[in-house]
Structure 1
Amino acid sequence: MLRLTDIKLPLDHAEPALADAILARLGISADQLRGYTVVKRSYDARKRGAIVLIYTVDVDTPRAPELLQRAQAETASARGAGSPIKLGPAPDTTYKFVGRAPAQLPLRPLVIGMGPCGLFAALVLAQMGFRPIVLERGKAVRERTVDTFGLWRKKVLNPESNVQFGEGGAGTFSDGKLYSQISDKQHHGRKVLTEFVAAGAPEEILYVSKPHIGTFRLVSMVEHMRATIQALGGEIRFSHRVDDLLVETDAAGVRHVRGVTLAGGEQLRADHVVMALGHSARDTFAMLHARGVYVEAKPFSIGFRVEHPQSLIDRARFGPQAGHPILGAADYKLVHHCRNGRSVYSFCMCPGGTVVAAASEPGRVVTNGMSQYSRNERNANAAIVCGITPEDYAAYGEGPLAGIALQRHWEALAFELGGGEYEAPAQLVGDFVANRASTQFGEVKPSYTPGVRLGSLDASLPGYAIEAIREALPAFDKQLRGFAMHDAVLTGVETRTSSPVRITRGGDGQSLNTRGLFPAGEGAGYAGGILSAGVDGIKTAEAVALSMLTGSARAGASA
């Protein structure tokens, strides 16, 4: 198979046009094209009104060796001019397991957390025969959905079952984005997408440039994957919060995991524990730090959610081709470097979606965004956030958990500014830029439930963040016309952009100072979204398997 890249066709091209383009590019006849597979379809919208589709395809032709040799010769002769390689061998993206579990396992591995990372760690371990035990502090996904709606509709928060905690993790109540900028030379991302399709996701996620699923589809997919893990011998326990880590120190002074203690007092023995925590598992971060596990503070970002009419974003991005079914609802990605040295950028953009209440602790307000697969809600929303670093945390506490104290401070203040019943503080963009309080809504009606309270957001974030965002919004208007429209709505606060800590690990996937502990995913500081978390779960499963297989070999040799 050959991989042919950069085939450009009009947005409304006829179906045979792609095959014709392949024949023309390769210089072969129709009878020499045995078949092709679309690997990726993206679009170039830099020229509004003249948007083109860009295809990458894998081609099956008997002339493959000859064509590849010719392409390599042409590339070599043109390399000085910087000509990109357009044709090459198609890579093998088939997933290959690193091993199989032995018939007898002394102890089963534990996976803590059932977000995307824990889900894929458990799935791959189960597929290799290791029969993992998954411990999830929250509820099964449908029960969790009921609890989440309880906050959104009735202002009742369940601290153990909400947007952050429960089967599927925080990604369940999101746009279901399945793309990432991580380096993925081993094609683990393909494994993630393939498993999602097997669980019921649309096949288009295998080739569109920015695949997404949406909350409703994710619910049934997560249930399907859970059933697969169980059918392979895995065990899943919901409402099982891990409150302590059992650690022993050997004669050489090396620390080893020996299991966990659950909230009810039960202890589970294990020599291999995957910590696939979400970014909001603050009590677990504190426990790990107290147990001496190496944890360090890491940068993250804070800001607001902004809402515009989706139709405005569509026109700004696509011009007269806005609304085309292939293009769907438009997204955006913006960044501005401010005079005060801060950077402000858009994050987790949700086309045709809603702003949601994402608190996990009583007396605090947190916002996030989500979309359904259709992306057909009236508003577009995104986080507009300002980057912060551990140097900014000193005013809120000392040590690696100071970033959590910062988050809690501003989330509690947002709760007060919203009136104390999980309503959120809000302000119109025009009023925020002009530094005046808002008193009534205009064209844009906020989607956040339980509701919002208009006023001024100046007291809802640190002064440097307010200053930076106030400067960035008009700058974004120059990048995306209409972005600073007066009636657009800012809703506060967005504080959970990523984990405030990193549970640092070594090259073997294990904690720097605690053998057998495998920090993984977004909560450990090694992922940022569904796809990257899933990929990290796969890598962690491989690390656990290799460690267990090596340990089994040593045990067999000593016996």
Structure 2
Amino acid sequence: MLIRIKNINVVFDDDTALTIIAARALKLQTCLISHVTVIRKAVDARRYNNAPIYYVYTLDITINSKLSSNILRSLAKKKNIEIIKDSIKPITDIPAVKTPVRPVIAGFGPAGIFCALTLCRYGYKPIILERGNDVDTRHQDVKNFWQTGQLNPASNVQFGEGGAGTFSDGKLTTRVHDPKMQEILTDFVKAGAPAEIKYLHKPHIGTDILHTVVKNLRKKILAAGGEIHFASQLTDITIENNSIKNITLADHTIIDCQALFLAIGHSARDTYEMLYKKNIQMQAKPFAIGVRIEHPQNLIDSTQYGVDAGNPLLPTADYNLTFQDRQHNLSCYSFCMCPGGKVVAAASEENQITTNGMSYYKRNSGIANSALLTPVGPAEFGSNVLDGIKFQRHYEHLAFKLAGSNYFAPVQTVGDYLSHQSGNDKFLTAPTYAPGIKPVDLHDCLPASTAIALEAALSHFDKKLPGFAHKNAVMTGLEMRSSAPCRILRDKDTFMSLNTSGLYPVGEGAGYAGGIMSAAVDGVNAALSYIFSNK
């Protein structure tokens, strides 16, 4: 018998065994419990009425003997207790239909990887094309860029095995609620991710572990008959009678293709331009622009945990901040907050500067960073499908020139920014961006509306987290790749392009996801739609 208990508050440093805690909650003898499985674990540091910091658990309890009907009725009436009845999982396995032409996946980030895994599980043997390099070669390409400023436009933080998420914090949080997420998390764990990602409220893998995970997922796809080609960029699509006939790669290779899964990522600007010329139905999409801000991690820990900051039993603290001034139409929010991480150079085109946040699994750099973003939409950059890309390039190039045209990043202290001065290099923490930085006035590479919103937000955020707007806290520009600037329109049921049969836009690059998990789920769902349409 399985019993689920929700909302069990346990003081964070209480080392009582979960079996005993579960027995107390159920008012049962400990000997009746054979196993306890953690389903969810979250930190509650709100400290209402001076309460301590809690871990909040959801637990599944396996009972090793039959309980009396009276006990069961009593348990069923209790709040936060649920009797889990055995259920028969629906049968979804179907024999694969041998299609005359193998499905093709363009892009090997989360959407492409899990699309490929799903196709392989049903007997299909997809051809996967990735414009960047394998993760080991890519790691060297990125390291070289950070050390020397020599950018490889084909292999960088945006392009290559694992997608942009491989050089990030590896967060697996998402607003998507889909039962397939547990299967995806299981795949991650089997590939080398820590088991805790299956139950933590805010799971993350870390860029260091992700490098191993994506290699192991690749091996699984290859073992199942998938075929993966790195440094192989999709450059053209041949369409006849509104259906895909074949595709062309940068080296002029032509591949027959009747089903193409576009998992291109949010930075494949040249691919968007090619699709636009092919009259694939697309639309401009809102995105965001801003900067990265860095603080000592112990400052964030102290504001979130108080006297318990630094306790090894607590995770490295994060934050989630929002600001909105409806009267003046100003808004700003934190995004991709990286505890114990660093700011990284994330350019994918020459003569452009964009940043991202990254951290390793242990989150032990001692520095916290986050993007501070303001939303922009067609009203700011234009309604043409490609206007958002022009907007991004314009400001990323401004940042490039402002910092010296050498891939150094423009930086400014909060104090200088708020007083419209520049030049202060007495930073609260040494800027972590490499290959280098140059103190400037960030107002010179931000839209006026963004600059004003950021000024207002900093003061607001300082009230939420005292010290956030410290005059020497450093901000690094720019952050512009939080989401895709375009959406490739598709049917909500079939996942297929509205006007091109056989084209399946998926993931962040298609405009339907916003992170590792949502992109992976989107890839799975698109693959399943294709599979069931061929049964």
TM-score (norm 2): 0.95
SS in 2 for 1:34: strand
Correspondence 1:469-508 to 2 at 5 A: 469-506=454-491, 507-508=493-494
Aligned to 1:46: 46
Q: How far apart, in 2, do the equivalents of 1:125 and 1:544 lie?
A: 9
CA displacement at 1:246 relative to structure 2:
1.8
Return 5+ residue gaps in structure 1 as ranges.
Answer: 76-83, 250-254, 550-559
Partner of 1:259: 246
Unaligned runs of 5+ in 2: none
Match for residue 538 of structure 1? 524
Which of the residues 415, 420, 442 maps onto 1:457? Answer: 442
Q: Against the structure 1 CA distance between its residues 201 and 49, is the aligned structure 2 distance closer, same or farther, given a 3 Å change threshold?
A: same
Within the candidate set 161, 181, 185, 1:167 is matched to 161
Match of 1:28 in 2: 28
Aligned residue for 1:511?
497
Paired position in structure 2 for 1:227: 219
Provide the rounded CA distance (Å) in 1 between the counterparts of 2:193 and 2:265. 23
**Which residue number in structure 2 is paired with residue 99 of structure 1?**
94
Deviations along 1:149-178, whole A, 9 cap, x unmatched? 121101000110000000010000000111
Deviation per residue, 1:114-163 (Å, 9 max, x gap): 00110111111112110111000111010011111121101000110000
1:490-537 Cα offsets, whole Å, 9 max, x none, are 100001110011112112111111111111000111111111111111
2:177 corresponds to 1:183 = yes
Name the counterpart of 2:393.
408
Report the residue type matching 2:332 in the other structure.
Answer: V
Partner of 2:452: 467
Is the partner of 1:320 in helix, strand or coil? helix
Residue identity matched to 1:530: I
The superposition leaves residues 313-367 of structure 1 with CA deviations (integer Å, 9 ceiling, x where unpaired) of 0101111111222322111000000342132000000011110000000000001
> 1:2·1:60 contact (CA, 8 Å) conserved in 2?
yes
Matched residues in 2 for 1:226 and 1:139: separation? 13
**Structure 2 counterpart SS, 1:347:** strand
Q: Is the 8 A contact 1:98 1:542 kept in 2?
A: no
Q: Distance in 2 between matches of 1:206 and 1:71?
A: 26
Partner of 2:84: 89
Alignment of 1:377-396 (within 5 A): 377-394=365-382
Conserved 8 A contact 2:332-2:457: yes
Aligned residue for 2:424? 439
Where has structure 1 moved over 6 Å in runs of 4 or more? 90-96
Checking the alignment, whether the CA contact within 8 Å between 1:352 and 1:376 is kept in structure 2 is yes
Secondary structure of 1:522's partner? helix
Partner of 2:151: 157
For 2:519 and 2:263, how far apart are their aligned partners in 1?
9
Whole-Å Cα distance in 2 between the matches of residues 95 and 223 of structure 1?
31
Q: 1:4 to 1:425 in 2, by over 3 A?
A: same
User: Hey, what's the Cα distance between the residues in 1 that align with 2:129 and 2:91?
Assistant: 26
CA 1:90–1:452 in structure 2 vs 1: closer, same or farther (change >3 Å)?
A: farther
Task: Work out whether residues 13 and 313 of structure 2, in 8 Å CA contact, stay in contact via their aligned partners in 1.
Answer: no
1:294 paired with 2:296, answer no
Aligned Cα RMSD in Å? Answer: 1.8
Gap change, CA 1:242 and 1:205, over 3 Å in 2: same
Distance 1:148 1:93 in 2: 48
Change (3 A) 1:391 1:95: farther
Q: CA deviation at 1:65?
A: 8.9
Residue 206 of structure 2 corresponds to which residue in structure 1? 214
Distance in 1, Cα, partners of 2:95 & 2:13 = 48
Report the alpha carbon displacement of residue 468 of structure 1 after superposing the two structures with TM.
Answer: 0.3
1:380, distance to aligned residue in structure 2 (A):
0.5
Deviations 1:355-387 (A, max 9, x none): 000000000000111000111112110000001
- Larger mean Cα displacement after TM superposition, 7-16 or 63-72: 63-72
Q: Secondary structure at the match of 1:138?
A: coil
Structure 1 equivalent of residue 324 of structure 2: 337
Q: Quick check: 2:287–2:484 contact (8 Å CA) kept in 1? A: yes
Distance 1:378 1:27 in 2: 43
Residue pair 1:49, 1:321 contacting (<8 A) in 2 also: no
Question: 1:280 matched to which residue of 2?
Answer: 267
Letter in 2 for 1:301: A
Identity among equivalent positions (%) equals 43
Q: Go from structure 1 to structure 2 and tell me whether the alpha carbon gap of 1:380 and 1:49 turns closer, same or farther (over 3 Å shift).
A: farther
User: CA 1:158 to 1:99, structure 2 compared with 1: closer, same or farther past 3 Å?
Assistant: same
TM-score by length of 1: 0.91
Q: In structure 2, how many angstroms separate the alpha carbons of the residues matched to 1:85 and 1:60?
A: 16
Match for residue 60 of structure 1? 62
Tell me how far 1:225 sits from its aligned partner: 0.7
Does structure 1 residue 201 correspond to structure 2 residue 193?
yes
Give the distance between the partners of 1:113 and 1:326, measured in 2 at CA.
Answer: 39
Selected match of 1:524 from 505, 510, 516: 510
The CA distance in 1 between the partners of 2:89 and 2:478, in whole Å, is 42
Residue identity matched to 2:246:
G
Q: 2:228 aligns with which of 216, 236, 243?
A: 236
Q: Report the CA distance shift for 1:96/1:489 in structure 2 as closer, same or farther (over 3 A).
A: farther
Q: Deviation digits for residues 226-276 of structure 1, max 9, x if unmatched?
A: 011000000000111001112111xxxxx2122311111121112111101
The equivalent residue for 1:6 is 7
Question: How far apart are the structure 1 equivalents of 2:406 and 2:90?
Answer: 48
Count of residue pairs brought into register by the alignment:
528
Contact 2:345/2:355 (CA < 8 Å) preserved in 1?
A: yes
Question: What amino acid is the match of 1:220?
Answer: T
Amino acid at match of 1:194: T
Distance in 1, Cα, partners of 2:238 & 2:311: 56
How far apart in 1 are the matches of 2:308 and 2:440?
A: 37
Asked whether the 8 Å contact 2:7–2:80 carries over to 1, the reply is no
* SS of structure 2 residue aligned to 1:124: helix
Superposed displacement of residue 466, structure 1:
0.1
Instruction: Output the CA distance in 2 between the equivalents of 1:6 and 1:426.
Output: 44
Maintained 8 Å contact 1:4/1:88: no
Q: Distance in 1 between matches of 2:507 and 2:130?
A: 15
Post-superposition shift, 1:27? 2.5
26 and 522 in structure 1: CA distance in 2 versus 1, 3 angstrom threshold: same
Provide the secondary structure at the position in 1 that maps to 2:445.
Answer: coil
2:3–2:60 CA contact under 8 A, matched in 1: yes
Identify if the C-alpha distance between structure 1 residues 426 and 91 changes in structure 2 by more than 3 Å, giving closer, same or farther: farther
Alpha-carbon distance in 2 for matches of 1:160, 1:68: 61
